[in-house]
Amino acid sequence: MTTFRTLREPAEIPTQRTVRLPLSPSSVEQQSLKTGVYGEYMAQFRGALLQLFSEPFRIDGDAEYVYFIEARDATDTPWVLKVIQGASGPSFRGVAITSTLVSIAEELRTLLETTKPADFEVVVKGSDALGRVVYGCRNGVCYWRES
pLDDT of 60 reads: 63
Mean pLDDT taken over the chain: 91
Q: What is the DSSP string of 99-127?
A: HHHHHHHHHHHHHHHTSPPPPEEEEPTTG
pLDDT of 1 reads: 83
Q: Is residue 141 part of a domain?
A: no
pTM over 0.75: yes
pLDDT of 81 reads: 96
**Across-strand partners of 144?**
135
pLDDT tens digits along 63-117: 789 999 999 988 999 999 999 998 788 999 999 899 999 999 999 999 999 999 9
**Across-strand partners of 123?**
134
Distance CA(104)–CA(108), nearest Å, equals 6
pLDDT of 129 reads: 56
Q: Is residue 125 part of a domain?
A: no
Q: 53: phi > 0 → left, psi -120 to 50 → alpha, else beta; which?
A: alpha
Res 27 pLDDT > 80 = yes
Q: Is residue 134 part of a domain?
A: no
Distance CA(82)–CA(28), nearest Å, equals 21
Our count of domains for the chain comes to 1
Per-residue pLDDT band for 61 (boundaries 50, 70, 90) equals low
Q: Is residue 95 part of a domain?
A: yes
> Which structural domain, as residue segments, surrounds residue 41?
3-115
Q: Is residue 138 part of a domain?
A: no
Q: Is residue 128 part of a domain?
A: no
Per-residue pLDDT band for 14 (boundaries 50, 70, 90) equals confident
